[in-house]
Amino acid sequence: MKTLIIGSSPCAVNSAKELLESGNEILISLNKNEDSSAIDEFKAAGIDPAFILTDTNILSCRGCAGDFTILMASGGKTVSKKISGVIIAEEYEKKPNFAAYGLKPAPGVLPLSFLTGTGIYGINASKKIPHAGKIAFLTGLGYESNPVIAEEVMLASLKFQTDLNLQTYILTGNLKVAGNGLEKLYRETKTAGTVYFKFTDTSPRILQDNEGKVTIELVDEITRLNFRITPALTVVDEIISPSAYMKELAAVFGLHTGADGFLQSGNLHRTGIYTNRKGIFVAGPSRSILNVAGNITDSANAAILTSRIPDDNIKQEAKAEIKSGSCIRCLTCYRCCPYRAIDLDIRPSVMPDACEGCGICFAECPRGAISLNFPDNRNVADAIRRVSDIGKTSPLVIAFCCGRSAGRAKELAICMGYRLPQNLKVIEVPCSGFVSMEYVLSAFQNNADGVLVLTCHAGNCHSEDGNIFARRRVEQLKETFSQMNFEKERLEIKTLASNMGYEFAQITNMFENTLKVLGSGNLKILKVQK
C-alpha cells in the first residue's frame, strides 16, 4: 500500500508525516516549479528526501483505488509507479490585487504576502518597510475576501501598531471574522489603535502619483466625515486561485472542479477531501482556502482515508458490466462515467472497485451493451412489470426515485404522516441517471397514468450529472409525447433532497391532481387528430 502525495504545501508535508509515522508507505511528487526549499520543508518534518521525486509531472492515471498505475515524467525520464491512493495537496497561487485598487507596485506599495512570508517576523529588520508614517491595508474592497486573508491583515496591522508604533488603517468591505479567534483578534487590533473603515454604500478613491506615492480619499460611513490618508506604506491583499499545475492535475485524474477552479466540484457528496474518484483525495490548498488548523485537519483526513484503502471500496453497490459482443467501442460509457470506472484496454471494461453503480452508462449506451447487476438481484424492468392497476380508483403514478434523495424523502414523508397519493408506486433507483427512456416508456406501457422522475437538486447528484442525464431524457420524451398527441404533463421531473419529506408529499399529490384532471391515459391507444 503506497500513497502518492503531490505537492509541498504544509498540508502535503503533514500528510506525509502522518502516513509515515503510522507505518504506511509514501511517495512524494514535486512539480518542476518547486525549488529546494520544498525538500527542506519535508526534511524539517523528519521525512527522508529519498521518498521525493523532483521535477515530476503526472502524465496519466489508470486503474482504481488500491491499484492505480501512475505514469510520470520525472527528471526527463518516464516512470511508472504502482500506487494505492493519491493525495493532491498542491499549493494555490496568490496574486496581489494591485489592479483592482488602481495601483501599480512601488516602494511604498507592497503585497500582503511580503509581510506574511518572511516579512512579518522581520518587520524591524526589513529595509522595505517604513519605520515612520501611516500604514494602509486594502482588503476585500469590491469583492468578498475570506478569513485567512483577514487574519493575515489583522496580524500584520497589530504588529505595526504594537512593535513599531505606526498608525494603521484597514479599509475593507465585509471584514471576514468567521474563523476561530478572529473576532478577538479584531478587538485586539482596535484596542492597539488600528482604525477600520468599512465601506457599504461608498468606496474610497485611491490615487497614485508618478512616483508611486498613494493618497486615499474616503468617507467614514459611521460619522459621514471625509478623510484623506497619505500612507507611507500601502499593503494590498491578494486573490487566491488554483495554480496552473492544479488544472493539469484535474485533467490527468479526471477530477471535477468547482466554479472557482479548485479540485472539488462543491458537490456535498465530496464533503471533506473526497473527489469524484475513489482513492484520489484533494486536501488543503488544492480544495479550498483554509487556515493552519484547517490544513492540519485535512492532512489527518488524508492520512486516515488513504491508509484505509482498499477496505473502503464499497462492495455492496450495484456494478455495471459490459457485454462482450454487443459493444462497438463508441466510448459513450467512458465519457459519461463520473467515477472514471471504465478501463480502456483492448475492449472497454468496467473496473468493479471503481464502479459506484449509478447506471448512467447503462442508460446511455446506444447498443444496450451494458447491464447493471444489483447485489440483491433487483430487476427494475420486473418491478415496473409487476405494478398493477387492477381495481384502481385514483390515477396510477409510477415514481422513479433516486435512492439517495427522493427515496429517503419518501421514507421521511411516511414517517411524518403526510398523505401520499393512493396509487403511488415508488421504484427506487441508485441514481436518476439510471432511468432510461425505455424504463419510462415501459412504465406507461404498464398502464401508468403518469410517471415522475425524482432526482437530486442540480449540483448535488452523487454521480455529478446523473440528474442532468435524467432531465435531458425526460425533456426529449415530453417533446415526443406532444408530437404523438399524448399529454406531456403525464411525465414530470422534479428535484428533492433526502430531508424533504414535506416536499415529497407536495410534489406527488400535486402530480396526482394534474392526472385527475387529465383522466386516464393510455400510451397504447393511438389518438389521431382529425
Partner 1 sequence: MDSSNVLVIGGGIAGLTTAHELSKLGVKVELVEKEPFLGGHAIQFTCKAIESCAKCGACMAEEKLNNVIHNENIKILTGANLNRISKNDRFHYNIQLNPDDKNQSKCTGYSSSADAVIMATGFEPFDPVKKPYGYRVFKNVITNLDLERMLKTNGIALKPSDGMPPSKIAFIQCVGSRDSKLNHLWCSKICCASALRMAHVIKSRKPETSVTFFYIDIQGSGKDFEALYQKAKEDFQMIRAIPGDIYKTEDDWLKINYFDNLSKASIEEVYDMVVLSVAMIPGSKTKELAEILGIIPCDTGFVGSCKNNGIAGSGGVFVAGTAGGPLSIAESITHAVKTAWDVAKYLKTRGR
Residues 6+ apart with CB under 8 A from 488: 478, 479, 481, 482
Q: Where are the beta strands (DSSP E) in 175-257?
A: 195-198, 205-208, 214-220, 225-229, 233-236, 238-241
| Element containing residue 333 per DSSP (H, E) | helix 332-336
* 234 within 8 A of 215, measured Cβ to Cβ: no
Which one, of 376, 102, 110, 302, lies nearest residue 216 by Cα? Answer: 102
What is the Cα–Cα distance from 156 to 188, expressed in whole angstroms? 12
Site for partner 1 in 38-77 (CB under 8 A): none
Cβ contact 218:201 at 8 Å: no
Q: Which of 29, 145 has the CB closer to partner 1?
A: 145
Q: Which residues, including other chains, have CB under 8 Å from residue 196's CB and lie 6 or more apart?
A: 169, 170, 172, 175, 190
Report, in Å, the least distance between residue 219 CB and partner 1. Answer: 10
Which residues, 480 to 499, sit near partner 1 by CB under 8 A?
A: 495, 497-499
Pick from 134, 159, 176, 473: which binds partner 1 (CB under 8 A)? 176
Among residue numbers 186 through 215, which ones bind partner 1 (CB under 8 A)?
187, 198, 200-201
Chain residues 297-336 in contact with partner 1, contact rule CB under 8 A: 297-298, 300-301, 303-305, 308, 311-312
| Identity of the residue, 214 or 303, whose beta carbon is nearer to partner 1 in the bound complex | 303
The answer to whether 177 contacts partner 1 (rule: CB under 8 A) is yes
Please say which residue, 174 or 482, places its beta carbon nearer to partner 1: 174
- Figure out which of the listed residues 193, 254, 272, 403 binds partner 1, where binding follows CB under 8 A: 272
Work out which of 44, 125, 132, 259 binds partner 1, going by CB under 8 A. 259
How many alpha carbons fall within 13 Å on the CB side of residue 184? Answer: 3
Contact flag: residue 465 with partner 1 (CB under 8 A):
no
Identity of the amino acid at 388: S
Q: How many CA atoms lie within 13 A of 524 on its CB side?
A: 8
Please tell me whether residue 27 binds partner 1 under the rule CB under 8 A: no
Q: Which of 84, 286, 288, 332 binds partner 1 (CB under 8 A)?
A: 288
CA–CA gap between residue 523 and residue 436 (Å, rounded): 17
CB of 501 to partner 1, least distance (A): 8
User: From the CB of 154, what's the least distance to partner 1, in Å?
Assistant: 13
Q: Which residues bind partner 1 (CB under 8 A)?
A: 18, 21-22, 143-147, 174-184, 187, 198, 200-201, 221-222, 224, 258-260, 262, 266-268, 271-273, 288-289, 292-294, 296-298, 300-301, 303-305, 308, 311-312, 405, 408, 416, 456-460, 495, 497-500, 502-503, 506
